[in-house]
Amino acid sequence: MISVVIAAKDQEYALAETLAALVPAAAEGFVREVVVADGGSTDGTLIVADAVGCVIVAGDAAAGLRAARSEWVLLIAPGIRLEADWFREAGVTLHRLQRGGQRVSALFRCVVDDQGWRARLSEIGLKFSRTRRRRQAVLAPRAALLRGEKLMAYTLRARAFSGGEAAPFGRA
């Protein structure tokens, strides 16, 4: 039903976390394929992507979008983990948007996976910054992303978790 595009470079651990969070959606048939656009990694990023059966292309996110086969694409950053049942709400939303013929993107609620006031302050900043949220996880029509169209944003209730300051493996 959808393709997932992940642009990564030297992010093997972050990529593994993101891919693990996509497994339930793939098992239900919501995720058709995962495309990893590699920007010249020198660590095990390509090994991780190949081990789970991702389509691997050289280049940036635009190269990944061109390689994707589905009409709708989830563009997600490495290290972002979606809730276990995110695809249920996303599927209902996609069906509604396609039926209505609307050109809208869907954004996830961003949550910093850490404790303390700094993490909550970061969440508030993410809530009000659509630009930063789009860099983390956006579900949109592939053609619109390739053309760089400005789309209205619909916010899903599903959450996208990003690592906090004390996250392992040096991810931020």
From first CA to last CA, the distance across the chain in angstroms is 30
Q: Is residue 68 part of a domain?
A: yes
pLDDT of 108-145, one tens digit each? Answer: 876 656 666 665 566 566 566 655 444 578 999 999 99
Q: Is residue 26 part of a domain?
A: yes
pTM for this predicted structure: 0.83
Give the integer Cα–Cα distance in Å for 79 and 7.
Answer: 11
pLDDT of 23-60, one tens digit each? Answer: 999 999 999 999 999 999 999 999 999 999 999 999 99
For 58-77, letters b (16+ CB in 10 Å) and e give eeebebbbebbebebbbbbb
- Domain holding 79, by residue range, is 2-167
Q: Alpha helix (H) ranges present in the chain?
A: 12-27, 45-51, 61-67, 86-100, 117-128, 130-136, 142-147
CATH code for the domain in which residue 68 is found = 3.90.550.10
Contact between 121 and 171 under an 8 Å Cβ cutoff? The reply is no
When divided into structural domains, the chain yields a total of: 1
Q: Is residue 172 part of a domain?
A: no
Contact between 23 and 54 under an 8 Å Cβ cutoff? The reply is no
